């Protein structure tokens, strides 16, 4: 609820809003403006994801533990078991995100953009290939999609290709060959407790099939749209 309130405040007023100025513009009374400003700042602080989740943990400890008569030693053991079950996933996600950022900052996306600008392909295939290569190099489907979309944006206007099909092709390409630098790859492995070989055989193959079928669907629809 706190995170929802914070997101609503950001959506309505913007993330960089000056609460003092906003309160002064909203009410004529200086005293009420100060109170409103402080309330907005408090809500903003409490709605921060880290603060809100920490408060949720403390609330759960009190109402589901202390309030039920459980001893603190028992609660600490339960919390320790819960933390141990997710610790490896959290570490892997952090490492995957760091690796992705290293590749992004090294200019991989810009290098691919320069190469793609001189190629002549079907726009749908080109968008799919760019997104797929970015996904393979960076690991993040979101980054691959957004980067490929930025590269292909001028081409959409000059070729007259359907923007909807371009979105489908780009999104499909961003799912291609998930591997070590993809957070989802490690989450699947740890959550289902399978080996890396099994993760490739299940997760990577599934993602790649979705990517290929998506491209074929876009190409098929381009014949009738």
* Cα angle value 215/202/169 (rounded, 5°): 15
User: pLDDT higher for 134 or 90?
Assistant: 134
pLDDT of residue 84: 75
pLDDT of residue 123: 86
Confidence of residue 2 (pLDDT cuts 50, 70, 90): low
215-222: which pairs have CB atoms within 8 A and are 24 or more residues apart? 215/124, 215/125, 215/128, 215/169, 215/172, 215/173, 217/168, 217/172, 218/124, 218/128, 218/165, 218/168, 218/169, 218/172, 219/122, 219/124, 219/125, 221/162, 221/165, 221/168, 222/124, 222/161, 222/162, 222/165
What percent of the chain has pLDDT above 70? Answer: 76
38-42: which pairs have CB atoms within 8 A and are 24 or more residues apart? 40/9
The secondary element (H helix, E strand) that includes residue 8 is helix 2-13
Q: Model-level pTM?
A: 0.57
Lowest mean pLDDT among 112-116, 124-128, 146-150: 112-116
pLDDT of residue 212: 96
Comparing CA positions, the residue from 5, 22, 4, 1 lying closest to residue 13 is 22
pLDDT of residue 160: 76
Confidence of residue 55 (pLDDT cuts 50, 70, 90): confident
pLDDT of residue 172: 95
CB atoms < 10 A from the CB of 173, how many?
30
Spatial distance between the Cα atoms of 80 and 71, rounded to a whole number of angstroms: 14
Spatial distance between the Cα atoms of 127 and 116, rounded to a whole number of angstroms: 9
DSSP state, residue 204:
I
Lowest mean pLDDT among 8-12, 61-65, 125-129: 8-12
Residue 144 has pLDDT above 80, yes or no: yes
Spatial distance between the Cα atoms of 9 and 109, rounded to a whole number of angstroms: 34
pLDDT, mean of residues 26-50:
76
pLDDT, mean of residues 180-189:
85
The secondary element (H helix, E strand) that includes residue 134 is helix 123-138
Q: What is the pLDDT of residues 60-107, one digit of tens each?
A: 888 888 888 888 888 888 888 887 777 766 776 676 567 666 766 777
């Amino acid at each position: 609820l706190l995170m929802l309130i914070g997101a609503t405040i950001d959506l309505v007023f913007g993330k960089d809003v000056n609460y003092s100025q906003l309160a002064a513009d909203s009410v004529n009374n200086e005293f009420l403006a100060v109170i409103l400003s402080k309330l907005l700042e408090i809500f903003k602080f409490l709605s921060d994801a880290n603060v809100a989740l920490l408060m949720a943990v403390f609330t759960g400890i009190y109402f589901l533990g202390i309030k039920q008569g459980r001893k603190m030693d028992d609660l600490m053991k339960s919390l320790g078991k819960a933390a141990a079950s997710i610790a490896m996933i959290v570490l892997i996600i952090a490492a995957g995100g760091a690796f992705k950022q290293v590749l992004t900052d090294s200019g991989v996306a810009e290098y691919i953009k320069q190469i793609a600008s001189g190629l002549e392909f079907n726009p749908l295939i080109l968008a799919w290939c760019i997104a797929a290569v970015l996904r393979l190099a960076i690991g993040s489907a979101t980054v691959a999609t957004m980067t490929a979309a930025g590269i292909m944006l001028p081409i959409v206007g000059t070729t007259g290709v359907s923007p909807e099909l371009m979105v489908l092709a780009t999104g499909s390409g961003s799912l291609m060959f998930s591997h070590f630098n993809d957070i989802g790859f490690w989450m699947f492995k740890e959550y289902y407790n399978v080996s890396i070989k099994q993760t490739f055989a299940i997760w990577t193959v599934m993602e790649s099939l979705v990517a290929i079928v998506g491209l074929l669907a876009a190409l098929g629809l381009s014949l009738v749209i």
